Chains A and B, each alone.
Chain A
Amino acid sequence: MDIIGPIMVGPSSSHTAGAVKLGRLARAMWNEEIRKVDIYLRGSFAATYWGHGTDKALIAGLLGFMPHDERIKDALNIARERGMEYRFMSEHIDGAHPNSVRFVLYGKDKTVEVVGASLGGGVVELQEIDGFSLSLNGELPAIITFHKDQPGVVAAVTGVVAKRNLNIATMRLHRQGRGGRASMVIEIDGELKEDAKEEMLNSHPALMRIIFMPSLESDIK
């Protein structure tokens, strides 16, 4: 009965609720309070953001708000109060999804770039992390790995998941050519504890980086 709902701040499921979720995706990648961010709007996001509060919604997501949070309206002020520095720009990328956005998050010694799209009805897709294409909708908790394309990586990572007695819902592999950079997205039916990350990284020498993504789904729906 998902037809009625979600409970959300208007006016648009794709340009407002979806935008909040995209901000949350970027925040989940960063895993700490965001101090500085550049946001590049594409296509319809760039053209109509002002009419749908897309800018407020994206920032609200970066602040960790849910799509039904009534503070979304004041997100820009709240971000400034919390010391988040943000800039909005537009960019045209051939072939990009019409409702998409690129975040560049800056920290003391790291930068993360995240691209995501709002597919309609509040459904979103994480499309790129640091230039690497992948696909993830954030409905379930997920493991994202970055590794060299070598035998045994999948078995090593899924072995850790199995040991924790968690069920794998979906799994996708992406690689930039044989033996090149590769990535794996595993959606699981429960959250993994942080210490599993260390165990995974030690499980195979080809693993370079692992991100644990919490589910974007709210407690209500």
Chain B
Amino acid sequence: MRSFEEILQLCEVDLEFYEAVIELESRESGKDFDSIYASMSFILDAMEQSVNSAIKSDFKGRLMKDEAQRFGEYISQANDLLSGKLIAKSSHIALSVSQYNSSMGRIVAAPTAGSCGILPGLLFAYNNLYAPTRDALVMALIVAGGVGEVIQKRATLAGAEGGCQAECGAAAAMGSAALTFLKGGSSEALAHAAALTLKSVMGLVCDPVAGLVEVPCIKRNGTLVALASICADMALAGVRSVIPPDEVVDAMRQVGRALPESLRETSKGGLAITPKARTLEKDILSQISPLSEI
């Protein structure tokens, strides 16, 4: 899958977006339709397990405490959520799964471990509120996978290469297309939901404090679900990205390359070098017994 164009061309004939993704994947890998579908179904089950385990788990990170739990309690008690139910629930799941990842829980990288909360957040919050069929969820995951493939082929999904736009940004774009699919959007709308999302995260830097997958990663998982959701609504309304989706991904690649190394997962810029980050890092390091050097 080298482009949205390629997927949409197949859709013009008679395929749905997810079928076109499977078709292209099948041409590349030689695997048949059923085995690709079955492996995505298996991954969806693993993702659901990670959500269930994450929601139940107690989290004590090195930098963060119990933010996901706190947020979960708030949304279960609040009568009036400013962000609405889907976003609030998605955010709670995304925070929880992302925290679970940080504490060595088992997750599905989607597309990476650092961005593993966003897709399960959106899919399972939607599942909770709208009760779609299981097959619809698997198809939505395949849609997300197709979007991720295009981003990987044309740009990158590694924070060290493209910054956080390539990890959490890509995850949000994948999730936005998946939501648009679940709500019955056209194939063109799916591609544009992804494009609209990417345009709003363009240039987002990867600046983890103390090199840990905690700050700002976990909260970015929790907030970018909101962007995915509004971009899906816009796409469903017929709003289209003026810049074609493939060209948006190309711009993202160019921006990623232009980012200085200090903002690409090296912890040498951005939030990672703030005074507070320095203090936190020093505190943590003082608790680690150093390795003897030979």
Chain A residues with a Cβ under 8 A of chain B: 1, 3-13, 16-17, 40-41, 44, 46-53, 56, 68, 70, 72-73, 88-92, 120-122, 220-221
Instruction: Find out whether the CB atom of B113 lies under 8 angstroms from the CB atom of A13.
Output: yes
Once bound together, how far apart are the Cα atoms of A203 and B108, in whole Å?
Answer: 46
B116 is contacted by which of A10, A46, A56 (Cβ under 8 Å)? A10
Do the beta carbons of B111 and A4 come within 8 Å of each other? Answer: yes
Q: Which residues of A contact B293 (CB under 8 A)?
A: 89-92
**Cα distance A51–B158 when bound, in Å?**
19
With A89-B293, A91-B293 in contact, is A10–B210 under 8 Å at CB? no
A4 touches B109 (CB 8 A): yes
Does B160 count as interface, using CB distance less than 8 angstroms? yes
Q: How many whole Å from A2's CB to the nearest CB in chain B? A: 9
Cα separation A69 to B141 with both chains bound (whole Å):
23
A52 to B102, CA, bound (A): 8
A1 CA / B23 CA spacing, docked (Å) = 11
Give A38 to B36 CA distance when docked, in angstroms: 41
A73 to B25, CA, bound (A): 35
Contact B292 A89 (CB under 8 A): yes
User: CB distance B108 to A51 under 8 Å?
Assistant: no
Measured CB to CB, the closest approach of chain A to B31, in angstroms, equals 9
Q: Which residues of A contact B294 (CB under 8 A)?
A: 40, 89-91
Q: Is B46 located at the chain interface by the 8 A CB criterion?
A: yes
Q: Which residue of A16, A51, A221 has the most chain B CB atoms within 10 A of its CB atom?
A: A51
Closest approach, in angstroms, between the C-beta of A52 and any C-beta of chain B? 8
| Cα-based distance from A53 to B292 in the complex (angstroms) | 18
> A1-B25, A1-B39, A51-B211 known; A13 and B109 CB under 8 Å?
yes
Q: Are B25 and A10 in contact (CB under 8 A)?
A: no
A77 to chain B, nearest CB (A): 13
Which of B190-243 touch A at CB < 8 Å?
210-213
**Pairwise interchain contact A11-B43, C-beta atoms closer than 8 A:** no
B113 touches A10 (CB 8 A): yes
Are B109 and A5 closer than 8 Å at their CB atoms? Answer: yes
If A10-B113, A16-B113 are given as contacts, then 13 extra A-B residue pairs at C-beta distance below 8 Å, sorted by A number, are A4-B108, A4-B110, A8-B108, A10-B102, A10-B106, A11-B103, A11-B104, A11-B113, A11-B212, A50-B288, A68-B106, A121-B158, A220-B42
B148 partner, pick from A4, A41, A70, A73, beta carbons under 8 A: A4
Interface residue count for B (Cβ, 8 Å)?
47
Partner of A46, one of B21, B101, B291: B291
A79 to chain B, nearest CB (A): 16
Set A4, A9, A44: member contacting B141, Cβ < 8 A: A4
Q: Are B160 and A51 in contact (CB under 8 A)?
A: no
Chain B positions 269 through 294: 1 when the CB is less than 8 Å from some CB of chain A, otherwise 0: 00000000000000010001001111
Task: Give the residues in chain B near A12, CB-CB below 8 Å.
Answer: 113-114, 213
**Residues of chain B within 8 A of A46, CB atoms compared:** 291
Interface residue B126 (Cβ < 8 Å from any Cβ of A): no
- By a CB distance below 8 angstroms, the chain B residues around A17 are 109, 113
The 8 Å CB contact of B43, one of A5, A9, A10, is: A5
Checking B149, B211, B284, B292 against A3 with a beta-carbon cut-off of 8 angstroms, the contacting residue is: B149
Are B36 and A10 neighbours in the complex by a CB distance under 8 Å? no
Question: How far apart sit A7 and B213, CA to CA, in the bound complex (Å)?
Answer: 17
B121 at the binding interface (Cβ < 8 Å)? no
Are B104 and A1 in touch, CB under 8 angstroms? no
Task: Give Cα A27–Cα B69 distance, bound, in whole angstroms.
Answer: 39
User: How many Å lie between the Cα of A68 and that of B36 in the bound state?
Assistant: 20
Is B144 interfacial (CB 8 A cutoff)?
yes
- Taking CB atoms, residues of chain A closer than 8 Å to B106 are 7-10, 68, 70
Residue from A40, A56, A220 in contact with B104 in the complex, judged by beta carbons closer than 8 Å: A56
Contacts A9-B105, A11-B113, A17-B113 given: A3-B119 contact, CB under 8 Å? Answer: no
Count chain B CB atoms within 10 A of each CB in A5, A53, A122 and give the residue with the most: A5
Q: What distance in Å separates the Cβ of A15 from its nearest Cβ neighbour in chain B?
A: 9
Whether A7 and B157, one on each chain, are in contact in the complex, defined by CB atoms closer than 8 angstroms, is no
- The answer to whether residues A3 and B291 also contact, given A8-B113, A10-B107, A10-B113 and a CB cut-off of 8 A, is no
Given A13-B112, A120-B160 in contact, is the A4-B291 Cβ separation under 8 Å?
Answer: no
* B291 close to A41 (CB less than 8 A): yes
Distance A40 CA – B291 CA, assembled complex (angstroms): 9
Cβ B113 vs Cβ A48 within 8 A:
no
Given the complex, which residues of B lie within 8 Å of A89, measured CB to CB? 291-294
- Contact, CB under 8 Å: B40 / A4: yes
